[in-house]
Amino acid sequence: MDGSISILYVSPHDGAHIKKLALIGAVAPCFTKREDFPYGIDKLAVDDLIRQTYEDRPSMLRNFSEIFFAAPEKLSPEFKIWNLGLGLAASSYATIQCAIELRDADLRKDLANIQVPALIVHGANDRYADLIWPKLCMRISKVHSLYKLKKLVMVFTLKNERELTQSLSSLFLD
């Protein structure tokens, strides 16, 4: 959601007070399929996540978080508990509202308004956000030639820290 929030923040301001933008693991322009947008997941799948949140939020979070890692079976039980704790720290209301926003948001017009250089960092093994997302962001944005695509896993762990830092440095230290 952080990428979507960044896009919504930068878009209406024509780059005022913003020199550069980094979109890390952004599921933009749309998380769900639409009549004129065949990419993403079905809206019914998000509706099911919302239903699961009402019924058994900890179970939904545990299951949903599995998609964030390239090899969840290699994670320690302690790491999985810690990751679940991060999700449970948010309110149920916030979890549901985030799911609704992911389901309904369409950022294509907002992306087209972005006028600042940007870096897209996207996970090559991302199970929800296929590599089509950053490619679409690059195509829709007017500054597509300034975007760079870096392949990482969706959740950026310490294994990716150096590679991510180098990517961000190339954008922000120019």
Give per-residue pLDDT as tens, 62-116: 998 887 777 788 888 998 999 899 999 999 999 999 999 999 999 988 888 888 8
Highest-pLDDT range among 11-20, 48-57, 145-154, 165-174: 48-57
Sheet holding 118-123: strands in order across?
A: 21-24, 118-123, 149-152
Q: In whole angstroms, what is the distance from residue 11 CA to residue 162 CA?
A: 29
Q: In whole angstroms, what is the distance from residue 157 CA to residue 111 CA?
A: 27
The token pair at 48 is: 């099911």
- Residue 18: what residue type? I
pLDDT of 150: 46
- The owner of tokens 């916030």 is 94
- The owner of tokens 């230290």 is 173
Strand partners, 122: 151
Whether the full predicted model's pTM is greater than 0.85, yes or no, is: no
Q: How does DSSP classify residue 35?
A: T
Helix, strand, or coil (residue 120):
strand
